[in-house]
């Protein structure tokens, strides 16, 4: 079963948008290479754009004849491609950059994260959040799936820079009601959720911090509203040990934080199996990390239509190893890419996530580019308008100084790119 194409968020056009009703003179963007993502790259390609809507994509010579009225703009020896989609980040952790210890233990990393988080003042965190968003933008990211555990959202003054989809993250190993978890949120976050704002949805943090009842309620909340719900799942061996036995370093951490793991019944299975039993997996689910999974769980993901977001550099940073990306792709699971936060990554350059998958997992450049654009947009419910260069989609695109698909990722890693307007 393939994942359904979901229109989670209704489009918010930036001008008079309906195809065929544009008012401005079209611009014909020409480049050595056009990378539409959903079709093979076009040598000496072109994209016709008016009022931020793509009207046509194809070989330059052909489009020049068809669009005589268009104003030509030759970008030269570059590759044009859609803006990147960072499908999993935590902008509100940006102020903790470089301060959180990894040590190869999930529990140790969370312990360090919480300690550092308590020591940084709120204004510094806000500034770091804005700077992180700006750096993402400078590195070609146009859409971000942002997890907000603090309830702080990206400031309205910078929202226009990047299209943001915020997932308000809930925890609560002993909570049996969504209402209780929501009651702990700051007012504006709760209001955004109750007002049904299209850019805002919910995340359950992870199977080891969120009760079965709460995971089910969060998912039901999303299903009623046709919203995508996300969760960290199968990230570390410690998580799997805790799910199987209720023991290990995560149990110690939960006890330290005042929870009573004895009140929590371990499901005695892996994270994805557990989520399947909770009826969490379907076409509106986004599972993040998916490192510690077996073949059977990959089948569960495939059969459910759930989407996956991989964050390979965060996994390496924390010492968890890389996800089974080849198997996930072979199963035709829609895999996007995320950087996770600056507390578990050196920077927010999504091209570097692609480079890891190319260098260490043997994934080809076309595939990693698709993961970082089309798949990410699809997994956030935005594929109708974003994630590829196709007729009718929004013109949200970058140009990278590269002459073939193979060299786009390395050029992007070095930040040799510009935004197109
Ligand atoms: Zn995360």
Beta bridge partners of 163: 143
Provide the residue ranges of all domains of the chain, joining segments of one domain with +.
27-82+388-420, 84-379
Distance in Å, CA 244 to ligand 1 centroid:
22
Whole-angstrom Cα Rg for the chain: 21
Maximum CA extent, the chain: 72
Distance in Å, CA 101 to ligand 1 centroid:
16
User: CA-to-CA distance for 304 and 279, rounded, in angstroms?
Assistant: 10
Distance in Å, CA 299 to ligand 1 centroid:
23
Distance in Å, CA 309 to ligand 1 centroid:
10
Stretch 372-378: mean pLDDT, rounded? 98
Query: Predicted confidence band at 206 (pLDDT cuts at 50, 70, 90)?
Result: very high
Stretch 400-413: mean pLDDT, rounded? 96
Distance in Å, CA 149 to ligand 1 centroid:
10
Check: CB of residue 14 under 8 Å from CB of residue 52.
Answer: yes
pLDDT of residue 89: 97
Question: What secondary structure does DSSP assign to 190-237, as a single string?
Answer: HHHHHTT-TTEEEEE--TTTB-HHHHHHHHHHHHHTT--EEEEES--H
Distance in Å, CA 341 to ligand 1 centroid:
6
pLDDT of residue 370: 98
CATH superfamily assigned to domain 27-82+388-420? Urease, subunit C, domain 1 (2.30.40.10)
Query: Predicted confidence band at 155 (pLDDT cuts at 50, 70, 90)?
Result: low
The C-alpha angle with vertex 173 and arms to 376 and 89, in degrees rounded to 5, equals 25
Read off the DSSP letter of residue 91.
G
Domains 27-82+388-420 and 84-379 alike in fold: no
Distance in Å, CA 134 to ligand 1 centroid:
19
**Closest among 83, 123, 119, 85 to 100, alpha carbons compared:** 119
User: CA-to-CA distance for 395 and 276, rounded, in angstroms?
Assistant: 38
The C-alpha angle with vertex 248 and arms to 246 and 253, in degrees rounded to 5, equals 95
pLDDT of residue 14: 39
In this structure, the strands spanning 397-400 and 417-420 are antiparallel
Read off the pTM: 0.93
Distance in Å, CA 365 to ligand 1 centroid:
25
pLDDT digits (tens, 9 = 90+) for 10-50: 333 333 344 445 579 999 999 999 999 999 999 999 999 99
Which of residues 15 and 293 earns the better pLDDT score? 293
Distance in Å, CA 319 to ligand 1 centroid:
15
pLDDT of residue 159: 57
Distance in Å, CA 205 to ligand 1 centroid:
8
Kindly tell me if the per-residue pLDDT of 124 is higher than 80. yes
Distance in Å, CA 232 to ligand 1 centroid:
6
Distance in Å, CA 229 to ligand 1 centroid:
13
Exposure string of 299-325, with b = 16+ CB inside 10 Å and e = fewer, is: ebbbebbbbbbbbbbbbbbbebeebbb
Percent of the chain topping pLDDT 90: 77
Stretch 107-115: mean pLDDT, rounded? 91
The mean pLDDT value of the chain amounts to 91
Q: Could you give phi then psi for residue 379, rounded to 5 degrees?
A: -70, -20
Distance in Å, CA 187 to ligand 1 centroid:
23
Q: Which residues contact 231 (CB under 8 A, 6 or more apart)?
A: 203, 204, 205, 206, 207, 210, 215, 275, 280, 285, 286, 287, 288
Distance in Å, CA 346 to ligand 1 centroid:
14
Read off the DSSP letter of residue 128.
H
Distance in Å, CA 419 to ligand 1 centroid:
27
User: CA-to-CA distance for 249 and 243, rounded, in angstroms?
Assistant: 12
Check: CB of residue 377 under 8 Å from CB of residue 390.
Answer: no
Kindly report the CATH number that applies to the domain delimited by 84-379: 3.20.20.140
pLDDT of residue 120: 85
Distance in Å, CA 283 to ligand 1 centroid:
20
Of the candidate ranges 98-112, 125-139, 292-306, 317-331, the one whose mean pLDDT is the lowest? 98-112
Which of residues 28 and 153 earns the better pLDDT score? 28
């Amino acid at each position: 079963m393939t994942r359904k194409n979901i229109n989670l968020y209704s489009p918010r056009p930036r001008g008079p948008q309906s195809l065929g009703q544009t008012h401005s003179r079209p611009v014909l963007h020409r480049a050595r290479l056009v990378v539409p993502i959903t079709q093979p790259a076009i040598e000496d390609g072109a994209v016709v754009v008016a009022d931020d809507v793509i009207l046509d994509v194809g070989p330059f010579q052909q489009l020049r004849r068809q669009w005589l009225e268009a104003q030509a703009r030759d970008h030269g020896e570059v590759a044009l491609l859609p803006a990147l989609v960072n499908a999993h980040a935590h902008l509100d952790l940006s102020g903790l950059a470089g301060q959180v210890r990894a040590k190869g233990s999930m529990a140790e990393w969370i312990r360090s994260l919480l300690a550092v988080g308590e020591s940084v003042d709120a204004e510094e965190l806000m500034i770091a959040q804005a700077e992180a968003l700006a750096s993402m933008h400078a590195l070609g990211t146009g859409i971000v799936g942002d997890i907000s555990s603090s309830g702080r959202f990206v400031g309205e003054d910078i929202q226009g820079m990047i299209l943001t989809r915020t997932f308000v993250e809930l925890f609560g190993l002993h909570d049996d009601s969504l209402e209780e978890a929501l009651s702990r949120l700051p007012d504006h976050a709760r209001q955004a959720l109750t007002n049904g704002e299209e850019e805002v949805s919910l995340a359950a943090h992870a199977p080891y911090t969120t009760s079965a009842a709460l995971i089910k309620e969060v998912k039901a909340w999303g299903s009623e509203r046709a919203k995508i719900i996300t969760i960290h799942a199968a990230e570390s061996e410690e998580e799997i040990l805790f799910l199987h036995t209720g023991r290990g370093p995560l149990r110690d951490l939960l006890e330290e934080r005042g929870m009573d793991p004895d009140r929590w019944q371990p499901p005695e299975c892996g994270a994805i199996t557990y989520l399947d039993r909770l009826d969490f997996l379907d076409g509106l689910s986004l599972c993040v990390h998916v490192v510690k999974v077996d073949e059977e769980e990959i089948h569960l993901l495939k059969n459910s239509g759930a989407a996956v977001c991989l964050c390979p550099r965060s996994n390496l940073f924390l010492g968890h190893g890389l996800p089974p990306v080849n198997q996930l792709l072979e199963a035709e699971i829609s895999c996007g890419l995320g950087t996770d936060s600056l507390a578990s990554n050196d920077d927010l350059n999504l091209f570097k996530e692609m480079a890891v998958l190319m260098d260490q997992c043997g994934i080809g450049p076309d595939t990693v580019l698709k993961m970082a654009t089309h798949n990410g947009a699809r997994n956030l419910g935005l594929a109708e308008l974003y994630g590829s260069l196709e007729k009718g989609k929004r013109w949200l695109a970058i140009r990278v100084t590269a002459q073939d698909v193979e060299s786009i990722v390395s050029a992007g890693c070095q930040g040799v790119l510009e935004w197109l307007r």
